[in-house]
């Protein structure tokens, strides 16, 4: 059985935040004599907040990892349905619930994060046959502390310094893993079967489901705004654009800033019309917002379906072509690259031998 030190090494060896919850769960199962570990995160859509169980592991070996981008949000429990989880998040303190007598089985709730930030909230549930010993509690504290440190370090390297959105490096690093097909081992379509070891990068390529979409957004006339109002006001506009994006798109959509006035969104959606509707909501929210000292600011967006032979560069190129088309047509518009191709408005000639960034 791996030691505490070996599990700490595994936690600190990651370069992908999406795998940290799984590694945390595996460490707690291996190091403690407990029955089950559940890591639940808070996700939201249109102001409604629910619990997403991102990782579940049983001592007997069963478990699953949920892909946040592929969940059916409406099936998740709302926050108020689990009062102990909610208390743990709100109070940022350990909560214990004995559900079969004071000496019987219980669930210990540990806050996944130590601070009160709204974008990262979650709980570690430890299911055990009795009260955790002092030694077990110390192991839990140590492992969760290492998890938090690694999560913060990876979040810092993945984030745009100005807006706090994900950066281009994050898209390049996680493109394929974010759009992996679920492994076909009898688990529901929203989840991938739990594997103790992460698939090597070479096995993760070109396994893209058909319903992932990547869109790019450009602020209209941003150069003129900067020239007229100054650099600081222009930065404030970008911060407000990021806020509007966070309020418009779903928690589990990946939102990026690549620098300047260029933003992007990676999402899973079953229908092109729904993707168009999401970007249209953002466009309307931008148009209606009163930007201090600037007034009305609009944006153009373009999106495209991710295909099994795509790299980040080829997908972004198609989305950017749709944005360019929107700007030529008068700005403040959203277009689907795929629809423009279907209408014959411009051809789509894929690049042969495109550079694979992975």
Q: Which residue spans of the chain are classified as CATH 3.30.70.270? A: 171-342
Contact 75, 45 (CB under 8 A): no
In this prediction, residue 356 carries a pLDDT of 35
Over the chain, what is the mean pLDDT? 83
Higher pLDDT, 96 or 115: 96
Q: Which residue spans of the chain are classified as CATH 3.30.450.40? A: 4-158
Higher pLDDT, 2 or 251: 251
SS (H, E, C) the chain: CCCHHHHHHHHHCCCCHHHHHHHHHHHHHHHCCCCEEEEEEEEEECCEEEEEEEEEEECCCCEEEECHHHCCHHHCEEHHHCHHHHHHHHHCCCEEEECCCCCCCEEEEEECCCCCCCCCCEEEEEEECCCCCHHHHHHHHHHHHHHHHHHHHHHHHHECCCCCCECHHHHHHHHHHHCCCCCCCCCCCCEEECCCCCCCHHHHCCCCCCCEEEEEEEECCHHHHHHHHCHHHHHHHHHHHHHHHHHHCCCCCEEEEEECCEEEEEEECCCHHHHHHHHHHHHHHHHHCCECCCECCCEEEEEEECCCCCCHHHHHHHHHHHHHHHHHCCCCCEEEHHHHHHCCCCCCCCCCCCCCCC
- CATH number attached to the domain at 4-158: 3.30.450.40
Superfamily classification of domain 171-342: Reverse transcriptase/Diguanylate cyclase domain (3.30.70.270)
Each residue of 118-134: pLDDT tens digit? Answer: 567 899 999 999 899 99
In this prediction, residue 303 carries a pLDDT of 97
Average pLDDT rounded to a whole number, residues 144-157: 87
Average pLDDT rounded to a whole number, residues 279-296: 96
Range scoring the smallest mean pLDDT among 198-202, 233-237, 288-292: 198-202
Contact 130, 100 (CB under 8 A): no
Each residue of 217-227: pLDDT tens digit? Answer: 999 999 999 99
Q: Is the pTM of this model over 0.85?
A: no
Higher pLDDT, 356 or 42: 42
Average pLDDT rounded to a whole number, residues 17-25: 84
Contact 243, 235 (CB under 8 A): no
In this prediction, residue 199 carries a pLDDT of 36
> How many CB atoms within 10 Å of residue 204?
16
Indicate whether 352 pLDDT > 80.
Answer: no
In this prediction, residue 310 carries a pLDDT of 85
Indicate whether 32 pLDDT > 60.
Answer: yes
> How many CB atoms within 10 Å of residue 46?
9
Indicate whether 175 pLDDT > 90.
Answer: no
Each residue of 61-98: pLDDT tens digit? Answer: 888 888 777 788 888 999 999 999 999 999 999 999 98
Higher pLDDT, 217 or 206: 217
């Amino acid at each position: 059985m791996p030691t505490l030190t070996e599990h700490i090494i595994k936690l600190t060896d990651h370069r992908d935040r999406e795998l940290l919850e799984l590694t945390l769960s595996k460490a707690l199962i291996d190091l403690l004599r407990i029955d089950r570990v559940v890591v639940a995160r808070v996700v939201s859509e249109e102001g409604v907040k629910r619990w997403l169980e991102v990782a579940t592991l049983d001592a007997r070996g069963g478990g699953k990892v949920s892909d946040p981008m592929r969940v059916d949000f409406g099936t998740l429990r709302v926050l108020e349905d689990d009062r102990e989880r909610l208390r743990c998040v709100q109070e940022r303190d350990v909560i214990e619930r004995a559900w079969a007598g004071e000496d019987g089985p219980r669930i210990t709730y540990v806050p996944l994060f130590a601070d009160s930030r709204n974008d990262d909230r979650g709980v570690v549930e430890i299911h055990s046959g009795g009260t955790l010993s002092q030694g077990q509690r110390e192991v839990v504290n140590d492992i969760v502390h290492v998890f938090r440190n690694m999560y913060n370090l990876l979040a810092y390297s993945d984030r745009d310094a100005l807006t706090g959105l994900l950066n281009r490096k994050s898209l390049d690093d996680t493109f394929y893993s974010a759009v992996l097909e679920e492994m076909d081992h009898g688990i529901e379509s929203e989840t991938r079967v739990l594997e103790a070891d992460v698939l090597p990068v070479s096995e993760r390529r070109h396994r893209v489901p058909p319903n992932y979409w990547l869109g790019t957004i450009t602020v209209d006339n941003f150069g003129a705004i900067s020239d007229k109002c100054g650099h600081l006001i222009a930065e404030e506009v970008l911060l407000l654009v990021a806020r509007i994006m966070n309020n418009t798109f779903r928690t589990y959509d990946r939102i990026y800033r690549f620098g300047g006035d260029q933003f992007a969104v990676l999402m899973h959606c079953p229908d092109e019309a729904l993707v168009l509707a999401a970007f249209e909501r953002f466009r309307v929210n931008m148009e209606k917002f009163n930007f201090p000292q600037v007034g009305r600011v609009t944006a153009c967006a373009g999106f495209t379906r991710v295909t099994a032979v795509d790299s980040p560069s080829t997908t972004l190129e198609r989305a950017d072509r749709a944005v360019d088309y929107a700007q030529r047509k008068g700005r403040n518009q959203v277009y689907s690259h795929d629809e423009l191709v279907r209408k014959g408005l411009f051809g789509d000639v894929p690049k042969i031998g495109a550079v694979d960034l992975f």
